[in-house]
Structures are given as C-alpha cells and as structure tokens.
Amino acid sequence: MTTNRALPAFLTTEEVLACLKVTPRTVYRLIQAGELPAVRVGRQWRFRRSDLDQWLSTRETGRPGTR
C-alpha cells in the first residue's frame, strides 16, 4: 500500500502567517472582510491549500498600484 505524503490539504493559521509574512491581525481582518477563504474548525481557522494558492495568484496578477 502506498501512502501519499503530499502537503496537507488544509493549513493552520500559523502556516498561513508564515506563507504570507503578515501578522495574525491581518489574516483575521482578511477573513472577516471575506477576502481570504477560511473555514472554522472548533475555535481554530483552517485554510484550504487550493483556496490560498488561488487567492495568492489573484494578488500576483492583480491590477498595478497607482502612484
């Protein structure tokens, strides 16, 4: 029997913080604003890896900043 040792489908808040390099307050603000997809599991937030990847790709290809 072969087991799949791929990365987990869900990330913890701490993993998302490290990935995005932001503060917990920023992540919680994005969740409350409905900008960052997340699911509540008990008292903790979990993030689907696929949702986070998609969210990041929209930020990378988003409109350029105005100056």
Place of tokens 């599991």: 41
Question: If you average pLDDT over every residue of the chain, what do you get?
Answer: 86
Q: What is the pLDDT of residues 29-52, one digit of tens each?
A: 999 999 999 999 999 999 999 999
CB-side neighbour CA atoms (13 Å) of 55: 17
**Bigger pLDDT: 54 or 65?**
54
In this prediction the pTM is 0.74
Residue 42 falls in which region: left (phi positive, over 0), alpha (psi -120 to 50) or beta:
left
Contact predicate 38/31, CB 8 Å: yes
Write down the domain spans for the chain. Answer: 10-58
Please state, in angstroms and rounded to a whole number, the distance separating the CA atoms of residues 15 and 18: 5
